[in-house]
Amino acid sequence: MNIVIIDDDKLVTSALKAILETSGKVTVPATGYDGTDAIELYEKYQPDILLTDIQMKEKSGLEATEEILKKYPDAKILLLTTFLDDEYIVTALKLGAKGYLLKSDYENILPSLEAVNSGQSVFGTEIISKIPTLLNASPKFDYSEYDINERELEIIELVSNGYSNKDISKQLFLSEGTVRNYLSSILDKLGLENRTQLAIFYYKHH
Amino acid sequence: MNIVIIDDDKLVTSALKAILETSGKVTVPATGYDGTDAIELYEKYQPDILLTDIQMKEKSGLEATEEILKKYPDAKILLLTTFLDDEYIVTALKLGAKGYLLKSDYENILPSLEAVNSGQSVFGTEIISKIPTLLNASPKFDYSEYDINERELEIIELVSNGYSNKDISKQLFLSEGTVRNYLSSILDKLGLENRTQLAIFYYKHH
DNA sequence: TCCAAAATATGACAAATGTAATTTATGAAA
DNA sequence: TTTCATAAATTACATTTGTCATATTTTGGA
């Protein structure tokens, strides 16, 4: 496997190069220090995989990824980073990067490279665990700061399902007037003007 | 690496077992044929990775995954399938499976197992390529089938931002009555009962 | 120009919604 | 027991919403 490594910290590139090459499975024909290097070295060496840092001074790994993939749609690019950032994850996935690894996980890098080389995409578990959140984003909105009680919550949910006060009163075995009172107080607590805004609020937070 | 393999096609389990064991890196202490086996064999052998089919007669791989992860949250489970299905992907991710492979990709299985064993998550490229769509999911709802015109669309958007008819009439320089008429016709076209349902509809499709 | 759509407006009405003040019922706490 | 807090209900009222039938106006072709 030919791997080109890009990182603006020379310590990282040389450490990675050493680790990978001692495995005997990897050759590192070149290392670079920013996004511009990434593009240049990718073109020059056409490595099996480009392993690049995300955050770099001149040109970021994401920008480089974008440019390289535009020209070589089959390029296999693995992004390295030291910390997690939702934005990066989503952007990287959209761009078509083959994965996203934490630099610190030295032991993971080689198996990941092999998986990518064989055509898979690889992600740190911490990253995958975020995807469901990003996908369906159902992190149960916290109403606690608004002093919303159980009854009110039920009503919020029913309103947000499009039910009328009459419908709600039947479902909860309350009088319609009571439902109106609850709703009125909910709107007051949340600083909203009407049930439609409540439903919108609900969907924006769920 | 100890791997338990589950698939309701005995040909698949034995083929996989053979392939993996000849690599010398994998031991397959047991194979099973449905979700119930999966749970039982996982408990009995505590393999490094459970490799299981998704679709099976008795109990699906997803159900088994769910049960196993409930009891053993750190279980590493890789799902195998013959075709792609958005639903499965999302569900698998939510459940916390470590990946999702195509059975046909024999060459990919071993590298993927190694990556998973070292703590990564692995996905076929075809799957990852769908995630942006699922994530981004701003496929601008298509109102065309409902015969909604520009004006109506504007009103839908304003209603979905929580504005009252009066507000909307001011913003669009229409009389309030006209706005009511438009809204009435929108509700009719979309088969909805009131503005709150319209806003809900809007958010569910955007 | 004239016509036919279309977009917009009106008026009248019933129903739903939202607010506010007050009342009733109930069970827990003092 | 009395007191208090809470949930639920009632009443009255103003406003908003939604429907419908019927104008009026605008506008882009024939």
The answer to whether residues B154 and B118 belong to one domain is: no
Q: Are residues A93 and A74 in the same domain?
A: yes
Helix, strand, coil percent content, chain B, rounded in steps of 5? 55, 15, 30
* Interacting residues of B58 by C-beta distance below 8 A, sequence separation 6+: B34, B35, B36
Nucleotide nearest to A186 (CA to C1'): C18
**pLDDT score, position B144:** 64
Residues A15 and A66 in one domain: yes
Question: Among A26-30, A109-113, B95-99, B110-114, where is mean pLDDT lowest?
Answer: B95-99
Q: In chain A, positions 70-129, which contact chain B (CB-CB < 8 Å)?
A: 90, 93-94, 96, 98, 101, 105, 107-108, 111-112, 114-115, 117-125, 127-129
What's the whole-number mean pLDDT along residues B159-188? 91
Residue B125 to residue A77: CA distance in whole angstroms: 12
Q: Is the domain of A109 the same as that of A67?
A: yes
Note the pLDDT of residue B86.
57
Say if the Cβ atoms of A136 and B199 lie within 8 Å. Answer: no
- Where on strand D do bases come within 7 A of a protein Cβ? 7-12, 16-21
Q: How does pLDDT run across A66-79, given as a tens digit for each residue?
A: 888 888 888 889 88
Is the pTM above the cut of 0.85?
no
pLDDT reported for residue A198: 92
Dihedral, A83, A203, A155, B90 alpha carbons, nearest 10: -70
Q: Of the given ranges (A102-111, B67-76, B148-157), which has the lowest mean pLDDT?
A: A102-111
CA-to-CA distance for A78 and A3, rounded, in angstroms? 10
B111/B26 same-domain check: yes
pLDDT, mean of residues A117-129: 73
What are the backbone angles phi and psi of residue B8, rounded to the nearest 5°? -80, -5
CB contact at 8 A, A134 and B96: no
pLDDT in tens, B70-118: 888 888 898 887 655 555 766 777 777 777 777 766 777 888 888 888 8
The CATH number of the domain holding residue A49 is 3.40.50.2300
Last-in-domain residue among A77, A110, A135: A135
3-state secondary structure chain A: CEEEEECCCHHHHHHHHHHHHHCCCCEEEEEECCHHHHHHHHHHHCCCEEEEECCCCCCCHHHHHHHHHHHCCCCCEEEEECCCCHHHHHHHHHHCCCEEEECCCHHHHHHHHHHHHCCEEEEEHHHHCCHHHHHHCCCCCCCHHHCCCHHHHHHHHHHCCCCCHHHHHHHHCCCHHHHHHHHHHHHHHHCCCCHHHHHHHHHHHC
Residue B194 belongs to domain with CATH number: 1.10.10.10
> Are A120 and B124 an interchain contact pair (Cβ–Cβ within 8 Å)?
yes
Element (H, E) at B3: strand B2-6
Same domain, A171 and A103: no
Domain boundary among A114, A135, A156: A135
Measured between alpha carbons, how far is A90 from A88 in angstroms, rounded to an integer?
A: 5
Residue B6's domain comprises 2-136
Q: Give the closest residue to B195 by CA, choosing from A197, A196, A199.
A: A196
Which nucleotide is closest, CA of B195 to its C1'?
D17
Taking alpha carbons only, the member of A87, A41, A83 closest to residue A62 is A87
Q: Which residues of B touch A1 (CB under 8 A)?
A: none
**Same domain as B128, residue B72:** yes
Tell me, yes or no, whether A13 and A87 share the same domain.
yes
- Clarify whether residues A48 and A108 are in a common domain: yes
Whether A112 and A17 map to the same domain: the answer is yes
B81 DSSP β-pair partners: B102
| Lowest-confidence pick of A139-143, A166-170, A198-202, B7-11 | A139-143
Answer for the pair B113, B3: CB distance below 8 angstroms, yes or no: yes
A63 plus A110 within the same structural domain: yes
Which of B87, B111, B136 represents a domain boundary (last residue)? B136
Residue A137: pLDDT above 50? no
Same domain, B178 and B108: no
Per-residue model confidence (pLDDT) at position B195: 93
The DSSP code sequence of B96-153 is T-SEEEETT-HHHHHHHHHHHHTTEEEEEHHHHTTHHHHHH-------GGGT--HHHH
Q: What is the pLDDT of residue A3?
A: 94
Mean pLDDT, residues A95-106? 74
Domain count for chain A: 2
For range A37-62, the mean pLDDT: 88
